[in-house]
Amino acid sequence: MENNFSGVRINDKVFHVIHGYGTVVGVVNNSFKAEFINKGNILFALWFLFDGKLNSLDRNPSVFWNEVIIIPPSKPKRKVEKIIKGWLNLYPSHIIEKNTIVANSSFLYQSERDADERSKNRLGEAVLITHKYTVEE
């Protein structure tokens, strides 16, 4: 974005990225002076070069003809590792193939005790299972 204030005149409105709108009150050589009123209703002035920078060492301009609207990029998604952990009642009717449990209507319980209480009248055994997976958040 090119920012050229070579044609700036007294009473022109300018926009500063921190101080908001201000009014040009002076033009001398290759610079101009703009006054701003801060939130405390205090009037102050800054000198700018015609490229909108405060001085030649600045990398970017800080004053513009129009309001600058900065739209931040969306937060990048990060990979998060999650773990599901619970107790499962394993019954003789369940099939175990290659470290995989094939079970009908099984439930995960928060503790071994909860799983044992659910299987009191059956020939089951509570086993702890965990599953680790990755999601993007």
106 close to 88: Cβ distance less than 8 angstroms: yes
On whether residue 2 sits in a domain, the answer given is no
Q: What percent of the chain has pLDDT over 70?
A: 84
Question: Do 59 and 86 lie in a common domain?
Answer: no
On whether residue 99 sits in a domain, the answer given is yes
pLDDT band, very low/low/confident/very high, at 43 (cuts 50, 70, 90) = confident
On whether residue 91 sits in a domain, the answer given is yes
The more confidently predicted of residues 1 and 88 is 88
Question: Do 84 and 60 lie in a common domain?
Answer: no
Cα torsion angle, 31, 35, 36, 40, sign: positive
On whether residue 131 sits in a domain, the answer given is yes
The more confidently predicted of residues 85 and 116 is 85
On whether residue 123 sits in a domain, the answer given is yes
pTM above the 0.85 mark?
Answer: no
On whether residue 72 sits in a domain, the answer given is no
Domain count, the chain: 2
34 close to 45: Cβ distance less than 8 angstroms: yes
Question: Do 90 and 131 lie in a common domain?
Answer: yes
On whether residue 7 sits in a domain, the answer given is no
The more confidently predicted of residues 128 and 119 is 128
Please tell me the predicted confidence (pLDDT) of residue 98.
62
Question: Do 50 and 86 lie in a common domain?
Answer: no
pLDDT band, very low/low/confident/very high, at 121 (cuts 50, 70, 90) = low
CA torsion, ordered 100, 101, 104, 109, to nearest 10 deg: -120
- Average pLDDT over every residue of 87-115: 70
Question: Do 54 and 88 lie in a common domain?
Answer: no
Amino acid at 56: S
What is the chain's Cα-based Rg? 34
Please tell me the predicted confidence (pLDDT) of residue 102.
60
Q: What percent of the chain has pLDDT over 90?
A: 44
Q: Domain range spanning residue 119?
A: 79-136
On whether residue 115 sits in a domain, the answer given is yes
